């Protein structure tokens, strides 16, 4: 009997995106970069995992249009107000406790299926980076495509 691992055609492709954000409230459309990474991987069917390095930014999907971007910001302000007391700020004498909370609520990763070599996103669905820190930041986003 031949071990099944001999027939494993699974591949992994890693792509890095670097960008500078404007600081709190900056939301960037990563869809073109993620789509390029999926295409460059040569993977036909699998998953594209998109991960932001850092604890004050997040990655999600959204209909990337100004009204919804504004709505998201307003909702996060209600959930984690900037001017509330944050123990993190008292401990470290900084101003971004709410940034950490907002990033934790949304999360650092989103996974998108890759089908027939393309991202399986809806018509109005984009992959976005949400910056929550109170100052501009250099961000690294890792796109890892795994599949056959």
CATH number at residue 51: 2.60.120.460
Which whole number is the average pLDDT over 47-57? 98
Taking CA atoms, 147 is separated from 13, 21, 142, in Å, by: 9, 31, 16
For residue 113, tell me if it sits in a domain: yes
User: Domain containing 71: what range?
Assistant: 25-147
| Cα distance between residue 98 and residue 103, in whole Å | 9
> Could you tell me the pTM of the whole model?
0.91
Share of the chain above pLDDT 90, in %: 89
Q: How many domains does the chain have?
A: 1
For residue 108, tell me if it sits in a domain: yes
Q: With cut-offs at 50, 70 and 90, classify the pLDDT of residue 61.
A: very high
Q: Convert the pLDDT of each residue in 99-130 to its tens digit.
A: 999 999 999 999 999 999 999 999 999 999 99
For residue 110, tell me if it sits in a domain: yes
For residue 3, tell me if it sits in a domain: no
For residue 17, tell me if it sits in a domain: no
For residue 80, tell me if it sits in a domain: yes
Query: What per-residue confidence (pLDDT) applies to 10?
Result: 81
Question: 31 and 124 in contact (C-beta within 8 Å)?
Answer: no
For residue 112, tell me if it sits in a domain: yes
| Cα distance between residue 123 and residue 65, in whole Å | 13
For residue 36, tell me if it sits in a domain: yes
Higher pLDDT, 86 or 20: 20
| Cα distance between residue 66 and residue 25, in whole Å | 12
């Amino acid at each position: 009997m031949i071990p099944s691992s001999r027939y494993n055609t699974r591949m992994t492709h890693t792509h890095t995106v670097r960008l500078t954000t404007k600081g709190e409230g900056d939301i960037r459309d990563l869809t073109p970069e993620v789509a390029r990474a999926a295409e460059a991987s040569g993977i036909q069917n699998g998953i594209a995992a998109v991960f932001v390095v850092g604890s004050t930014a997040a990655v999600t999907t959204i209909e990337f249009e100004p009204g919804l971007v504004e709505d998201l910001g307003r909702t996060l302000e209600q959930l984690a107000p900037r001017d509330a007391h944050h123990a993190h700020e008292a401990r470290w004498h900084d101003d971004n406790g709410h940034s950490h909370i907002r990033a934790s609520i949304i999360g650092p990763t989103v996974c998108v299926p890759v089908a027939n070599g393309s991202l399986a996103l809806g018509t109005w669905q984009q992959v976005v980076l949400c910056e929550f820190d109170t100052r501009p930041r250099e961000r690294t986003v890792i796109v890892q495509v795994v599949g056959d």
